[in-house]
């Protein structure tokens, strides 16, 4: 026969989890008992002689169990007092330095068994924390008379009763708990001064019915229940008390033992059956998953809606084995049946299309994007049960924004949760494939649109090139067919005027009119040709250092007769003898002639002032007049072709309106800019800014060269 101490030790070890991950007390000395097998707590507390004092008081003992109250959690004056509990009982332990232990931890404690003031406790020498899932022992429901005994000392218990007295002493606060006011048995709920802020007893009054969860203790033959925290104290009602008494009255120990044995035998049998059933289910699931994995390639490679729907029906029929399968696609605001397995109609009739915004369950699945699983349709409220035939169970899953996919059976609960998940996976695969088909369709449409746009662009390019060719031919014809005879007309008019002289006849006057009209027409033609060449990039501009002072004086001299004829002054103001700009000499001459001639044309009194200077890296030409000016709001229109300050048949000034357009275009081609400031009745000031340059001598010294602008 196995000795009783050994049997108790084996029982304690069997009740505890496997020890690993050791933690030691901060100041625990090395002790051979640290490595000894723990004894059951009931054996440590054993009192053979019946003197209410454990027989092993003074011995060094080793116990193990769950921490019912962490060291320091019990509201006693002594520091580090907690409680340890195993399957045989509980005991107080004092470990002031065991900060690593928490409620629910598994621990092994060794120390000296003490018995002081009626309480048995272990004065801890060291401890080990066991790496195991944290679980607090369930409290034992006790009545006040049952708790007030040595039998449950050290255990976590739940006691309810009535507060019959409240008081305090030098050590702390307490109240007395009885079964009822007439009962003799009592428990004291005590909280020392060190813990009164953490556990407040002031919220309870005499006469309150309370439930206390805590460690059964005693002090000088006075039995106590010590709460671990404020949540261990709660008010209760009378009905709850009666319920607890009823629970405490269930069964005797013998009946419980028999019931446990029978239960274990039955549980083993059920567990064996369950494992067998689960093994079969797992094999079935594995076969289905492998079959689906092999067959879904056809679904993912589908090239049309028809192939997607056909693949879904084939997979469900062949792999999952369900007869009822249907695929609906969203079209024209409805979910229309696109493909239905023929075997579906063996147990249910054909179903109509469903309005997407309607109240049908299928439409709700499509709108919400969530799966509908019905184990038995007869348990649902339906307007017309006959419309579903023998249908009993159904799963409907969404196919993204494309439609729905349904699997049905005439058997209730036939579609398992695992199969429902596989159906959802198939629905997601179908969604992926249909999304791909939509993207491919959009890409094909975009490619066709791009090809069409490219063709149109090529046609437009060919037309533009043809238009440019015709424009070039037209400009050449204009230059040859109009400029040549026009020059001859002007020349003949000059000769005729010289021959007639200053006579008073009409011949001389007509000759002068012909000459002026011809020059006017030639100026217009030159302006149009220059503008066209600039816009077409055929002007052939070349940048080089150009002295704006020389150009300004030359233009003023050429146009001075016109100013003198109108009685206007024409001055050139320069702050230095030379102002060099990087520009095209011919274009600069055109700009000056246009600006100065316009200033003379639109000025009746005063004069025209031409200024040349440098400013912030620019070579600046400024032409200011005292002429008619114009509204500043209309100034931007001056640079548009064929726009003038004076327009219409009744205009007061001649001109084609292309001079300023040519001026702006030529300036910009040379990398410059032109601005205007004007005011009606006060005149205008045109400012041309061109990139500043050094003199030709400096250019040669620095290795500079002429740079072409545009195409020749």
Same topology, domains 39-233 and 540-644+654-696? Answer is: no
> Would you state the pLDDT for residue 652?
45
| pLDDT of residue 514 exceeding 80 | no
Say how far apart CA 414 and CA 394 lie, in whole Å. Answer: 9
Rg (CA), the chain: 55
Cα dist from 152 to 106, 170, 256, 345, 511, whole Å: 20, 28, 19, 71, 142
Report the alpha-carbon distance of residue 228 to residue 53 in Å, rounded. 26
CA distances from 525 to 468, 610, 658 (A): 19, 26, 10
- pLDDT band for position 157 (cuts 50, 70, 90): very high
Given a cut of 90, is residue 618 above it in pLDDT?
yes
d(CA 120, CA 566): 132
Q: What is the pLDDT of residues 481-494, one digit of tens each?
A: 666 676 767 676 66
Element containing residue 629 per DSSP (H, E): none
- Domain ranges within the chain, ordered by starting residue: 39-233, 286-443, 540-644+654-696
Give the span between the Cα atoms of 348 and 616, in whole angstroms: 91
Rounded Cα–Cα distance for residues 349 and 338 (Å): 15
> 286-443 — its CATH code?
3.30.450.40
The whole-number pLDDT of residue 469 equals 67
Return all residues near 712 (Cβ < 8 A) that are at least 6 apart.
538, 540
Q: Which CATH number fits domain 540-644+654-696: 3.60.40.10, 3.30.1600.10, 3.30.565.10, 3.40.50.970?
A: 3.30.565.10
Q: What contacts 24+ positions apart, CB below 8 Å, involve 261-270? A: none
For residues 153 and 103, give the distance between their C-alpha atoms in angstroms, rounded to a whole number: 18
What is d(CA 229, CA 68) in angstroms, rounded to the nearest whole number?
12
User: CA 453 → CA 442, 450, 457, 461, 463, distances in Å?
Assistant: 16, 5, 6, 12, 15
pLDDT tens-digit series, residues 340-394: 998 988 888 888 899 999 988 899 999 999 999 998 888 776 556 667 788 889 9
SS3 597: helix
CB neighbours of residue 533 within 10 Å = 20
Q: Under a CB-based contact definition with an 8 Å cutoff, are residues 189 and 219 in contact?
A: no
Q: Distance (Å, rounded) from C-alpha 534 to C-alpha 711? A: 10
The pLDDT score that the predictor gives to residue 461 is 84
Distance in angstroms (rounded) separating the CA atoms of residues 325 and 351:
12
Local confidence band at 202 (pLDDT 50, 70, 90 cut-offs): confident
What dihedral angle (degrees, nearest 10) is formed by the CA atoms of 133, 134, 140, 141? -110
Helix (H) or strand (E) holding 181: none
670 is written with which tokens? Answer: 């040379």
pLDDT of residue 117: 84
CB 367 within 8 A of CB 373: no
Instruction: List the structure tokens of 273.
Output: 């059956």
DSSP secondary structure, 354-380, as one string: EETTSS-HHHHHHHH---EEES-GGGS
Share the mean pLDDT of the chain.
79
Predicted confidence at residue 244, as pLDDT, reads 53
Lowest mean pLDDT among 81-85, 472-476, 629-633: 472-476
**pLDDT per residue over 655-702, tens digit each?**
445 678 778 888 888 889 999 998 888 899 999 999 998 887 765 555
What is the CA angle 614-616-621, rounded to 5?
35
Classify domain 39-233 at the CATH topology level: OB fold (Dihydrolipoamide Acetyltransferase, E2P) (2.40.50)
Compute CA distances 693 → 162, 302, 546, 696, 706, whole Å: 109, 71, 8, 9, 12
* Contact (Cβ atoms closer than 8 angstroms) between residue 169 and residue 190: no
Query: Residue 203's pLDDT is what?
Result: 87
Q: In what order do the strands lie in the sheet with 707-709?
A: 580-583, 541-547, 707-709
Answer whether residue 54 shows pLDDT above 60.
yes
**pLDDT at res. 549:** 93
H-helix or E-strand spanning residue 216: strand 209-219
pLDDT 10s digits, 412-423: 988 888 889 888
Q: What does the block give as tokens for 254?
A: 């013998």
What's the length of the chain? 712
Tens of pLDDT, residues 88-137: 999 999 988 777 888 899 999 999 999 988 888 999 988 988 888 888 88
């Amino acid at each position: 026969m196995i000795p009783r101490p050994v049997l108790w030790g084996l029982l304690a070890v069997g009740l505890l989890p496997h020890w690993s991950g050791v933690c030691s007390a901060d100041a625990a000395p090395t002790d051979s008992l640290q490595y000894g097998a723990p004894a059951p707590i009931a054996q440590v507390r054993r009192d053979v002689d019946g003197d209410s004092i454990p027989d092993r008081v003074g011995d060094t003992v080793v116990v193990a169990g769950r921490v019912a109250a962490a060291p320091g959690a019990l509201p006693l004056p002594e520091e580090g007092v907690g409680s340890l509990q195993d399957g045989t009982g509980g005991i107080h332990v004092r470990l002031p330095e065991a900060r690593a232990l928490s409620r629910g931890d598994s621990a092994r404690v060794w120390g000296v068994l003490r018995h002081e003031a009626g309480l048995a406790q272990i004065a801890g020498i060291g401890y080990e924390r066991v790496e195991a899932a944290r679980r607090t022992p369930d409290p034992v429901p006790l009545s006040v008379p049952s708790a007030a005994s040595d039998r449950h000392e050290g255990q976590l218990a739940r006691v309810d009763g009535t507060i019959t007295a409240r008081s305090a002493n030098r050590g702390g606060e307490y109240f007395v708990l009885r079964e009822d006011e007439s009962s003799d048995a009592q428990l004291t709920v005590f909280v020392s001064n060190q813990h009164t802020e953490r556990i407040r007893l002031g919220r309870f009054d005499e006469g309150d019915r309370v439930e206390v969860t805590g460690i059964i203790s005693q002090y000088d033959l006075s039995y106590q229940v010590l709460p671990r925290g404020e949540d261990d104290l709660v008010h209760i009602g009378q009905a709850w008390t009666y319920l607890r008494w009823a629970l405490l009255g269930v069964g005797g120990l013998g009946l419980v033992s028999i019931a446990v044995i029978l239960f274990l035998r039955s549980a083993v049998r059920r567990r064996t059956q369950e494992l067998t059933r689960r093994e079969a289910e797992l094999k079935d699931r594995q076969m289905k998953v492998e079959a689906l994995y092999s067959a879904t390639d056809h679904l993912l490679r589908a090239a049309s809606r028809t192939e997607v729907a056909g693949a879904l029906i084939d997979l469900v029929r062949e792999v999952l084995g369900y007869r009822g399968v249907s695929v609906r696609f969203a079209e024209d605001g409805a979910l229309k049946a696109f493909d239905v397995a023929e075997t579906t109609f063996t147990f249910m009739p054909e179903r109509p299309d469903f309005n997407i915004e309607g109240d049908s369950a299928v439409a709700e699945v499509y709108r919400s994007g969530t799966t509908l699983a019905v184990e038995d349709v007869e348990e649902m409220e339906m307007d017309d049960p006959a419309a579903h035939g023998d249908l009993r169970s159904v799963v409907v899953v969404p196919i993204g924004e494309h439609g729905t996919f349904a699997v049905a059976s005439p058997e209730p609960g036939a579609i398992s949760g695992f199969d429902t998940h596989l159906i959802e996976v198939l629905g997601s695969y179908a969604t992926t494939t249909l999304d791909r088909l939509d993207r491919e369709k959009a890409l094909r449409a975009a490619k066709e649109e791009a090809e069409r746009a490219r063709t149109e662009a090529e046609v437009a390019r060919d037309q533009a090139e043809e238009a440019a060719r015709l424009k070039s031919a037209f400009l050449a014809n204009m230059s040859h067919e109009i400029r040549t005879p026009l020059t001859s007309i002007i020349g003949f008019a000059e000769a005729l005027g010289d021959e007639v002289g200053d006579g008073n006849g009409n011949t001389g006057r007509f000759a002068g009119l012909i000459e002026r009209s011809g020059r006017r027409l030639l100026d217009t033609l030159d302006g149009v040709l220059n503008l066209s060449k600039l816009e077409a990039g055929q002007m052939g501009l070349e940048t080089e250092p150009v002295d704006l002072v020389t150009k300004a004086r030359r233009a003023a001299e050429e146009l001075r007769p016109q100013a003198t004829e109108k009685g206007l002054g024409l001055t050139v103001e320069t702050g230095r003898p030379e102002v060099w700009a990087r520009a095209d000499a011919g274009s600069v001459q055109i700009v000056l002639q246009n600006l100065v001639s316009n200033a003379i044309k639109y000025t009746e009194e005063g004069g025209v002032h031409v200024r040349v200077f440098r400013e912030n890296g620019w070579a600046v030409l400024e032409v200011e007049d005292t002429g008619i000016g114009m509204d500043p709001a209309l100034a931007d229109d001056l640079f548009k072709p064929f726009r003038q300050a004076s327009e219409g048949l009744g205009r007061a000034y001649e001109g084609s309106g292309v001079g300023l357009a040519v001026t702006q275009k030529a300036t910009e081609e040379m990398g410059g800019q032109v601005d205007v400031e004007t005011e009606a009745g006060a005149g205008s000031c045109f400012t041309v800014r061109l990139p500043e340059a050094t003199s030709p001598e400096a250019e040669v010294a620095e290795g500079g060269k002429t740079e072409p602008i545009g195409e020749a």
